[in-house]
Amino acid sequence: MQQTKTSDEQILGLMRNPVTLERGFRLLMDAYQDRLYWQVRRMVTDHEDANDVLQNALVKVFRSITQFEGKSGIYTWMYRIVTNEAITFLNQRKRRSATSIDDANINLANRLHADSYFDGDEVQIRLQQALQTLPERQKEVFNLRYYEEMSYEEMSQLLNTTVGSLKASFHHAVKKVEQFFAE
C-alpha cells in the first residue's frame, strides 16, 4: 500500500496548520500505522512491547513534524523514527537482562510459547531465535524482504543504501539462518 506523493503533501499541509494538525495526524496514522506496526513487531516480537514502542514513536512524529524538511518521503522519515525507537527498546532490554546469547534464545522461546498473540510452531520459534542472532541492520533487511516483500529498489530508497549491498545483506542473513537451523 503506497500513499501517493500528493496525499503526503496534503497531509503535511494539514499538519503544519495548528487548526488542522490533529486531523492531518489522524490521516497520517491511517495511511501508515499498519506498516509501521509490523516493522516494530518483527523487531520486538511481543505485541505489548510493539504497541508501547509504536506509540512512543508516533508521539515523537507528532512533536517533530515541523522539523520534517521533506528531503525524503514522509514514510521514510517515520520509518527511521520508529526503527530507532525499537532499537533503543531492544538495547535497554539487553542491558536490563544482561544474559548470554543462549539464555536470550531460551527467554525468547519461553516468551513466544506463552504469547497468546503468537501462533507459530517450534520451527517458527526457531526462526525467530535465528533472526535474533542477526546484526540489527541485517535483520532489518531480512524483515523488509522476507516479511514485507519489499523490492530492493524501494528498500534502497528507504535505507539509503545500494541495491547490490542490500541483496548481499539479505543473502548473508538467509545463509546465517540456515546455519542456525543446521546446528
Partner 1 sequence: MERPDDDVRKELEELSPRLLKLKEQGEVFRLPDHYFQSLQAQVFEKIQAEESAAGNRQALPRSNWFNQIMEQFQWLTQPRWSLSLATVALLITVGIGWMYQQSQATSQNLNTELAKLDQQTLDAYIQENLYEFDTETLMEFASKKESQLNFEEMNPEELDQYLDENLQELDEETIKELL
Residue 97 CB, shortest distance to partner 1, in Å, is: 22
Show the CA angle centred on residue 4, arms to residues 86 and 23, nearest 5°: 70
Residue 76 CB, shortest distance to partner 1, in Å, is: 20
- Write the DSSP symbol of residue 67: G
Residue 58 CB, shortest distance to partner 1, in Å, is: 5
15: helix, coil or strand? helix
Distance, in Å, from the CA atom of 131 to the CA atom of 101, rounded to the nearest integer, reads 12
Residue 44 CB, shortest distance to partner 1, in Å, is: 11
Distance, in Å, from the CA atom of 39 to the CA atom of 84, rounded to the nearest integer, reads 11
Give the nearer residue to partner 1 in terms of CB position, either 5 or 164: 164
Give the nearer residue to partner 1 in terms of CB position, either 71 or 172: 172
Which grid cell is 146? 522476507
Give the nearer residue to partner 1 in terms of CB position, either 5 or 175: 175
Distance, in Å, from the CA atom of 95 to the CA atom of 92, rounded to the nearest integer, reads 5
Give the nearer residue to partner 1 in terms of CB position, either 26 or 94: 26
Side-chain-side CA neighbours of 38 within 13 Å: the count stands at 10
Give the nearer residue to partner 1 in terms of CB position, either 33 or 97: 33
| Closest listed residue to residue 63, CA positions, set 40, 37, 85, 93 | 85
- What is the contact surface with partner 1 in residues (CB under 8 A)? 22, 26, 29, 33-34, 37-38, 41-42, 45, 47, 51, 54-56, 58-59, 62, 117-120, 123-124, 127, 145-146, 149, 151, 170-171, 174-175, 177-178, 181
Q: How far is CA 107 from CA 22, 93, 132, 137, in A?
A: 40, 12, 11, 22
Residue 32 CB, shortest distance to partner 1, in Å, is: 11
